Amino acid sequence: MKSTFTRPAGIIILLATTIFGCKTINPGEVGFVVHKGVIQPGILTQGRHHFNLFNSHIQKFSTRITEFSTVMSPPTKEGLEVKVDLTVLYHIKPEAAPSIYTNVGLDYGNKIVINNFMAIVREYTMQYTAIDLLGERETIEKNIEDKLRESISTYGIVLDDVLVKDIDMPAEVLHAIENNAKAEQIAKQTNLELQIKRKQQDFEIETKEKELMYALEKQKSDSALMQIDANAIKNYQNTINSSLTDRLLKFKSIEVTKELVKSPNAKIIITDGKSMMLNNINDK
């Protein structure tokens, strides 16, 4: 009885596995069923999924971030070729997998992302000179990223990042940059020396102006002191002159004459005839 039951069960399981297939969707993947060449509604997520082996299959798509790196030699504005080391990171939206499969196919990375990426890089490098590429590196990186995101987003592809890792310039450009750097250094040094010399000259002029102002102020001060002294002498003389009255002068004259008379030496005294000196002496 037991063997009778096991045999039919085994036949049924064998038929089921022959008619129906099984496929595993791993993490970071999505899938969908294609039945008789027609994509069936619904997105298959991670896990095991069964399908009819005779007229169906499960198509898987990776939703993980894909990295593409390349070294390009795009032309610059002046026609020079520069080596640019680039990396682009992208992934697809899970719900966009059937549309991408229908419109583009499995090689969507090369057909959509890479081709647009390389064309946009050439477009932007041709807008800059070789020297400007170094100075505008971040701006160029952002412009490429914005333009590429706009180009591939309509297909359901998400741009994660664009990296400009290195820019290798031709030898003549490097020499030009080096010469420019030396010229700028010389110009800065010359400008610094001129500034120092100008400041020194300004300091000397300021010092001379201060010395001149000091001399003028001292001269004014000395002139004021001399004027004060002159006024004092004048006032003193005016005071003396005002105190020398006629009577005082006569008195002083008499005193001088008396002293002369007392002298034992022979003398002749001459007066103007108005003085009282002789009369006073004779009276004595």
Is 57:39 a contact under the CB 8 Å cutoff?
no
Q: What is the pLDDT of residue 2?
A: 46
From the candidate CATH numbers 3.30.479.30, 3.30.565.10, 3.40.50.720, 1.20.120.140, the one assigned to the domain spanning 66-169: 3.30.479.30
- Higher per-residue confidence, 242 vs 59: 59
Can you tell me the distance from the alpha carbon of 80 to that of 137, in angstroms, rounded to the nearest whole number? 17
- pLDDT tens column, 88-117: 999 999 999 999 999 999 999 999 999 999
pLDDT category at 173 given cuts 50, 70, 90 is low
When pLDDT is averaged across residues 60-69 and rounded to a whole number, the result is 95
Whether the pLDDT of residue 128 is over 70: the answer is yes
- pLDDT tens column, 175-198: 666 666 666 767 777 777 778 878
Determine how many CB atoms are found less than 10 A away from the CB of residue 134.
15
Question: Per mean pLDDT, which range of 213-217, 247-251, 264-268, 275-279 is the poorest?
Answer: 275-279
What's the gap between Cα 54 and its chain centre? 68
Q: What is the pLDDT of residue 282?
A: 42
- pLDDT tens column, 133-145: 877 888 888 999 9
What is the secondary structure of the chain as a DSSP string?
-HHHHHHHHHHHHHHHHHHEEEEEEPTTEEEEEEETTEEPSS-B-SEEEEEETTTEEEEEEE-SPEEEEEEE--B-TTS-B-EEEEEEEEEE-GGGHHHHHHHT-TTHIIIIIIHHHHHHHHHHHTTS-HHHHHHTHHHHHHHHHHHHHHHHGGGTEEEEEEEEEEEE--HHHHHHHHHHHHHHHHHHHHHHHHHHHHHHHHHHHHHHHHHHHHHHHHHHHHHHHHHHHHHHHHHHHHHHHHH--HHHHHHHHHHHHHHHHHSSS-------S--SHHHHHHH-
- pLDDT tens column, 35-48: 998 999 999 999 99
Q: What is the pLDDT of residue 278?
A: 44
Can you tell me the distance from the alpha carbon of 61 to that of 30, in angstroms, rounded to the nearest whole number? 5
- Phi and psi at 205, nearest 5°, equal -60, -45
Both structure tokens of 78: 């002046």
Spatial neighbors of 44 by CB under 8 A, at least 6 apart, are 25, 30, 31, 32, 33, 58
